[in-house]
Amino acid sequence: MAEEQSRIVDWVHLPAGVSDLSLWEGLHDAQIIAIQSNILARTVTLNLEIEHLRIFYDLPLDMQFLIRLAGVQSARVAKYSVWPGDFSVPKGVSKEEEARLVAAFQAKWREESVSWEDLEKSVTSEHKQVIDISDATLAVAENGTVALRIVGLFNYTTYHEVFLRAERLAIFRSDAGELSVSDLLKLGEVYWDALEKQETGGSAESS
């Protein structure tokens, strides 16, 4: 048991008993607009713009969310080359069958390594070279070590997976200081619930 608990928390091998937490509600459709790392200080900071939350909550125009990792132990990134063969989803299939077909297609994609330094230099809001986040997940060990996985489109074209492992993680609003992971998820939850009600109401009115 002691040996199991001492294993490094990482997406390659999450130790038994370590659960992961979806950050979808807080980070879906967010954009990573800059990445700064300091190898000497062992830190990585992800600068995020979450436009839909900024508009929904009437936040300052230049407000950013910052994810800061301290005691960084690992920073990796991979990209996926899409299989160039023919693929389409037949009309009329169920959602379950569509999901199965898409999963089978994505399984043919090739994972390729990418230099973290190159990614860090490439991500810049100035030239719209950003990572559009589609999903994110966080795992936390009993000793507080965290593993963060982010999936998104870089430059609106290529899927990337970002993996970070660190001793601790903190989230900040550039205008209001630190907030907890649950605070961020709550902001997103309220937004997505309101959007769903709006869309459901719109559909009901049009029918």
SS3 130: coil
What residue ranges of the chain have pLDDT lower than 70?
1-17, 127, 202-207
Alpha carbon separation from 131 to 30, 80, 82, 163, 179 (Å, rounded) = 8, 14, 17, 14, 22
Collect all residues with Cβ–Cβ distance below 8 Å to 127 and sequence separation of at least 6: none
Asked if 53 and 188 count as a contact pair (C-beta separation under 8 A), the reply is yes
pLDDT in tens, 60-96: 999 999 999 999 999 999 999 889 999 999 999 898 9
Collect all residues with Cβ–Cβ distance below 8 Å to 33 and sequence separation of at least 6: 47, 48, 49, 64, 123, 124, 125, 130
Q: What is the pLDDT of residue 15?
A: 63
Q: What is the pLDDT of residue 177?
A: 92
Q: What is the pLDDT of residue 157?
A: 87
Domain segments of the chain as ranges: 2-202
Averaged confidence pLDDT in the chain: 88
Cα separation of 76 and 119, whole Å? 10
Q: What is the pLDDT of residue 207?
A: 47
